[in-house]
């Protein structure tokens, strides 16, 4: 199942505050104004795009095979245990955030930091949109989604970015490239694998582990750790 999505993307103001490290403390009016300005500019200037494809998958204790793409990762194997199919996806909000960060780094470092946070909130919001489209298609076939899992989380090595980019043709399809260190450009981009399961009770209906009160979930440990890594934008 090849697929893709372009469209409207929203910069979540509350998520932007979270990325900035605010956890309930008083927020200065100046910060709120900068967030609103950065979010509005990003919403106007960004060009969100995505590509995703579905494959048969085979999972053992420490290895996962997605089509002909073989991955050695115990954490990913736990995430995809029991899944016979999975989706490989890549998404980006385009270069606007990188241009804005570069511009404000010269004249206003505080605003550059806010743009970093707003850009991180934007790509997460957009990937949530893409995931919802995948969820709706999967539901028609009696399938449910596992939490998405990205290279660089746990023992899922960042080197696998190269394989994903080759399979999805990310440069050609959505204009995203890799640096020598396997970092994505534009920087506000994401790749991930989402397992598809026939068992609803083993699926994930929450946006993030931090919102979920199911503390005994087998996916929680490495996904919560992944969310912590995600905060370091």
Tens-binned pLDDT, residue by residue, of the chain (233 aa): 456 655 567 889 999 999 999 988 888 999 999 999 999 999 999 999 999 999 999 998 777 899 999 999 999 999 999 999 999 999 999 999 999 999 999 999 999 999 999 999 999 999 999 999 999 999 999 999 999 999 999 999 999 999 999 999 999 999 999 999 999 999 999 999 999 999 875 545 444 444 444 444 444 444 434 444 444 44
pLDDT of residue 216: 42
Tell me which residue of 170, 146, 152 sits closest to 89, measured CA to CA: 170
DSSP-assigned beta bridge partners for residue 85: 56, 196
CA distance 136 to 200: 14
Give exposure, 13-31, as e/b (b: 16+ Cβ within 10 Å).
eebbbbbbeeeeeeeeeeb
Strands (DSSP E) found in 11-118: 49-59, 63-66, 69-72, 85-92
pLDDT of residue 7: 56
Rounded to two decimals, the pTM is 0.83
pLDDT of residue 24: 80
pLDDT of residue 118: 96
H-helix or E-strand containing 14? helix 13-19
Token readout for 178 is 């890799």
CA distance 188 to 209: 21
- 132 vs 34, 144, 187, 222, CA distance in Å? 30, 11, 23, 22
């Amino acid at each position: 199942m090849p697929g893709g999505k372009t469209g409207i993307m929203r910069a979540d103001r509350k998520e932007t505050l979270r990325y900035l490290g605010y956890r309930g403390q008083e927020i200065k009016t100046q910060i709120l104004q900068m967030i609103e300005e950065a979010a509005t500019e990003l919403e106007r200037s960004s060009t969100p795009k995505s590509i995703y494809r579905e494959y048969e998958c085979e999972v053992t204790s420490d290895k996962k095979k997605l089509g002909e793409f073989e991955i050695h990762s115990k954490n990913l194997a736990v995430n995809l245990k029991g899944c016979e199919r999975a989706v490989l996806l890549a998404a980006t909000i385009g270069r606007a955030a990188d241009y804005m960060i570069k511009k404000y780094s010269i004249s206003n470092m505080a605003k550059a930091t806010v743009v970093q946070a707003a850009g991180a909130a934007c790509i997460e919001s957009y990937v949530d949109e893409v995931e919802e489209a995948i969820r709706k298609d999967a539901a028609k076939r009696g399938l449910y989604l596992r939490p998405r899992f990205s290279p660089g989380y746990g023992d899922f090595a960042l080197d696998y970015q190269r394989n994903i980019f080759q399979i999805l043709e990310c440069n050609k399809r959505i204009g995203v490239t890799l640096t020598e260190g396997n970092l994505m450009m534009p920087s506000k981009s994401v790749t991930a694998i989402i397992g598809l399961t026939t068992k609803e009770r083993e699926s994930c209906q929450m946006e993030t582990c931090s919102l979920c009160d199911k503390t005994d979930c087998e996916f929680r440990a490495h996904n919560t750790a992944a969310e912590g890594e995600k905060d370091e934008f």
